[in-house]
Structure 1
Amino acid sequence: NDMLRSIATSKPTVNDEDLKKLQKFTEDFGQEG
């Protein structure tokens, strides 16, 4: 997934809040992280 890859590239350090947002994002779009 290019979008997820760009997020990981732009933010090398990911905190718990970012993980929660990303998890909700993937759940909303029916994707598995």
Structure 2
Amino acid sequence: KKMSEDWSLLLCFFPSNWVELAAETDVLKKLRK
């Protein structure tokens, strides 16, 4: 499967604040390093 296809599917189930969640996840990934 293509990554873009998985993302489009995930976005369908994302809450209205998915942008904030994505930002928080990105921050967590940076903190782990």
- Structure number with higher helix proportion: 2
Q: Which has the larger radius of gyration?
A: 2
TM-score of the aligned structures, taking structure 1 as reference length: 0.46
